[in-house]
Amino acid sequence: MTTTTQYKCFECNKKVSDEYLRKKVRCPYCGSKMLFKPRTASTTYKAR
């Protein structure tokens, strides 16, 4: 099981690894600082 935290760039929609963000908080591809954490599937939803 891999538990790597990955962020996504808001601009180019590419995945940015958590390791990279320790150095710089910006996208290595387009240089954008708009990064967000994609929702993980750990939350259980109850369908109503």
Positions that interact with Zn ion (CB under 5 A): 9, 11-12, 27, 29-30, 32
| 16 vs 22 by CB, closer to Zn ion | 16
Q: How far is the CB of 28 from Zn ion (least distance, A)?
A: 8
Q: What whole-number distance in Å separates Cα of residue 42 and Cα of residue 31?
A: 30
| 11 vs 21 by CB, closer to Zn ion | 11
Rounded CA Rg of the chain: 13
Q: What whole-number distance in Å separates Cα of residue 41 and Cα of residue 9?
A: 19
What is the amino acid identity at position 22? R
| 31 vs 44 by CB, closer to Zn ion | 31
